[in-house]
Amino acid sequence: MSSSLLSTSISDFTDEVSRKTPVPGGGSVAALAGAMGAALALMVSDLTLDGAGSEAQDERLAAVATRARQLKDALLAAVDEDAQAFAAYIAARRLPKSTSKEKSLRAERIQEGLRQAALVPLRTAELSLEVMRLAHEALVHGKPSAMTDAAVGAQAAFAAVRGGVWNARINLTDIKDPSFRRDTESKCMELTASADRLLDEVTEAVDRRLR
């Protein structure tokens, strides 16, 4: 890519995703979903802090706001990082393979590309799970009038966790290092289980309060 995806408009980014090219793809979209979830958690926290809450509530939500801002920025950066990681893998696949030396170098670069193509979305999933926790905090302790904003943030972050995990797992298929595959698969399972539980908590909390 010649420039950052973050420099494009929402419309242009969506069009770029829709093109018949491998990048940007699901990994970048997952990272953006996580960033939007963090943005909503931040918004709800800041809205609540503008009111007259208790000292304990203010401290809790100030911490949520600080961390949500950090996660938002990290996940926005991951939009480009994911596209760049997969583009590097594609470039490795296109390396020459006429000689044994070329074949060896190509194989090495492909494996490194696959590892990065798995690690970047895995980190997106890890960060987005944290966003889900923050959105839950904002839902429970934030302004009641903004609880659905926090709930949408949790849902967006859930999509980012699942999307990150799926994109990490699909790149494990051709990785030859069994230890790397095993460790990454284990992390993916833990992230998925935690996200599923947390989404149930968020859904139950917001639906109960809406009733």
Tokens matching residue 29: 């979209």
Which pLDDT score, from 0 to 100, does residue 57 have?
77
Q: What is the pTM of this model?
A: 0.91
* Residue 53 pLDDT grade (very low, low, confident, very high; cuts 50, 70, 90): low
Architecture of the domain spanning 22-206: Up-down Bundle (1.20)
Which pLDDT score, from 0 to 100, does residue 6 have?
84
Mean pLDDT of the chain: 93
Which pLDDT score, from 0 to 100, does residue 3 have?
65
Residue 193 three-state SS? helix
**What would the mean pLDDT of 90-104 be, rounded to a whole number?**
93
CB atoms within 10 A of CB 47: 17
Distance CA 168, CA 192 (A): 12
What are the angstrom distances between the C-alpha of 58 and each of 37, 51, 55, 103? Answer: 21, 9, 5, 59
Which pLDDT score, from 0 to 100, does residue 177 have?
95
pLDDT in tens, 154-203: 999 999 999 999 999 999 989 999 999 999 999 999 999 999 999 999 99
